[in-house]
Amino acid sequence: MERTLLEEVSQFLFLENELLDSHQFEEWLGLFAVDGLYWMPLHHDQADPYEEFSLIHENCALLRMRLDRMQHPTAHGMEIPIWTSRVMSNIRITHATENIVEATARFCLVEAENDRQRLFAGRYHFTLERGESFKIKRKRVDLVNCDAPFASIQILI
């Protein structure tokens, strides 16, 4: 049975979440295109990561450094394992061409470290490159409370 584009994109996004939740960070980074970007705006409706500050705006080289730091045995703030569980829904294809698929999804993420828990929620915006498999060209994470004060965000959302 042939899957629809929405089913293929959904399965890819579910895989991305599973890799993050199971700490398979190398495999997760492998989902990105060479020129892929990970962006978490600082405020609602932020249009450009280059003209304004962002919570996170990283290319693959910076993501590699973040992962190396997160996995280092003496990384500050990472002595106790941080566990996450993501739930994603309302996946929609917003635009598709032969080479690019744009999709959005809603998410809730629980972060747990010892007896402390935090909740993150919002909307993902993905730009995916089509090929033998999808590659993430851009992942934008719009947090519901992006303009609130945060303690350090140690995880990838």
pLDDT of 35-61, one tens digit each? 999 999 999 989 999 999 999 999 999
Contact, 106 vs 123, CB < 8 A?
Answer: yes
Three-state SS letters, the chain? CCCCHHHHHHHHHHHHHHHHHCCCHHHHHCCEEEEEEEEEECCCCCCCCCCCCEEEEEEHHHHHHHHHHHHCCCCCCCCCCCEEEEEEEEEEEEEECCCEEEEEEEEEEEEEECCEEEEEEEEEEEEEECCCCCEEEEEEEEECCCCCCCCCCCCCC
Low-confidence ranges of the chain (pLDDT < 50): 1
What does each C-alpha distance from 43 to 47, 115, 123 come to in angstroms?
A: 10, 29, 13
- Position 81 scores a pLDDT of 80
Q: Which residues pair with 129 in a beta bridge?
A: 100, 135
- Position 142 scores a pLDDT of 97
Contact, 146 vs 57, CB < 8 A?
Answer: no
Contact, 54 vs 38, CB < 8 A?
Answer: no
What are 43's two structure tokens? 């405020």
What are 6's two structure tokens? 């929405």
Quote the pTM value: 0.91
- Position 126 scores a pLDDT of 98
- Position 147 scores a pLDDT of 86
- Position 74 scores a pLDDT of 63
- Position 68 scores a pLDDT of 83
